[in-house]
Amino acid sequence: EVNLVETGGGLIQPGGSLRLSCAASGLTVSTNYMNWVRQAPGKGLEWVSVIYVGGNTYYADSVKGRFTISRDTSKNMVYLQMNSLRAEDTAVYFCARMLVPPGISHVTGNDYWGQGSLVTVSS
Amino acid sequence: QMTQSPSSLSASVGDRVTITCRASQSITTYLNWYQQQPGKAPKLLIYAASNLQSGVPSRFSGSGSGTDFTLTISSLQPEDFAAYYCQQSYTVPFTFGPGTKVDVK
């Protein structure tokens, strides 16, 4: 059974830094496309970042230069380092695995999700 | 950019419901659909435009290619009242549509 558990959220002042962790079980993060998706209170879903199997990383324009996605294969974990936080970064952050179905050979939807971790940026 | 219509709709149990999603440029068939209940993580319903995710009831179906896509619920059930989102996985950034809320008429 696959399980993703996010930790590290909380209340942080504008301009501060926070690191979210995603502990994976039942799948190996280094052989999967792992991403972060966030949802501001009462709003829709926003894609944030992805780390590819080969190690390439990509970001939404809204977080580029401030957020960094990484993984630790020895711990089977994915991280999101968030710097220079702003009020508009306030959201629940979800860790998710992107499905690559047999015979399609391209990333598709997120089939496994964590429960989410709330980040509140406020003074 | 992804757009969805309608932004909300009211329906009754047993209704046929259709939600559309449009991409600003061709994404071939790399379009995915999610259902989200309040306070929960999204659930993948359809991947690559028309493939039903394992465990998802067959009343859900998806179609389309290029820029125009459709999610259809053939006979709405009580547990289907929720928000629905499309997402393109053709290229980064993997943008989501703004969502469609389906509520009780």
For residue range A10-33, what is the model confidence (pLDDT) as tens digits?
Answer: 999 999 999 999 999 999 999 999
What is the DSSP code (8-state) at residue B30? -
Distances from the Cα of A80 to the Cαs of A65, A69, B24, in angstroms?
A: 13, 5, 29
Averaged pLDDT for residues B8-15: 98
Sheet containing B68-73, strands listed edge to edge, beginning at the edge strand earlier in sequence: B2-5, B17-23, B68-73, B60-65
| Percentage of the residues of chain B whose pLDDT score is greater than 90 | 100
Q: Does the N-terminal peptide bond of residue B78 adopt cis geometry, omega within 30 degrees of 0?
A: no
pLDDT over threshold 90, residue B61: yes
* Cα within 13 Å of Cα(B91), Cβ side: 7
Candidates A45, A57, A63: best to mutate against B (most CBs of B within 10 A) is A45
- Determine the pLDDT at residue B79: 97
pLDDT of residue A88: 98
Cβ distance A114 to B47 less than 8 Å, yes or no, reads no
Which residues fall within 8 angstroms of residue B70, CB to CB, at 6 or more apart? B18, B19, B20, B21, B62, B63, B64
Interval A94-113: pLDDT, tens: 999 999 988 888 889 999 99
Of A47, A106, A110, the CB nearest to B93: A47
pLDDT for residue A118 is more than 90: yes
**pLDDT per position as a tens digit, A38-54:** 999 999 999 999 999 99
**pLDDT for the residue A5:** 98
pLDDT at A104: 84
How do residues B64-90 score in pLDDT, each as one tens digit?
A: 999 999 999 999 999 999 999 999 999
pLDDT score of A105: 84
Q: What is the pLDDT of residues A35-91, one digit of tens each?
A: 999 999 999 999 999 999 999 999 999 999 999 999 999 999 999 999 999 999 999
Q: Which of B94, B95, B96, B100 to mutate to test the interface with A (most CBs of A within 10 A)?
A: B94
Examine residue B38 and say whether the peptide bond preceding it is cis (omega within 30 degrees of 0): no
Distance between CA atoms of residues B87 and B70, nearest Å? 12
Number of neighbouring beta carbons within 10 Å of residue A66: 15
Whether A63 and A81 have beta carbons less than 8 Å apart is answered as no
CA distance A40 to chain B (A): 12
How far is residue A11's CA from residue A118's CA, in Å, rounded to a whole number? 8
What is the reported pLDDT for A92? 98
Of A61, A106, A115, the CB nearest to B41: A115
- In angstroms, the CA B29 to CA B96 distance is 15
Check residue B70 and give its pLDDT: 98
Q: First CA to last CA across chain A, in angstroms?
A: 40
Up-side HSE of residue A122: CA atoms within 13 Å toward CB? 7
Q: Of A35, A24, A62, whose CA–CA distance to B32 is shortest? A: A35
Alpha carbon distance A118, A3 (integer Å): 18
CA distance A65 to chain B (A): 15
Report which secondary-structure segment, H or E, holds B4. Answer: strand B2-5
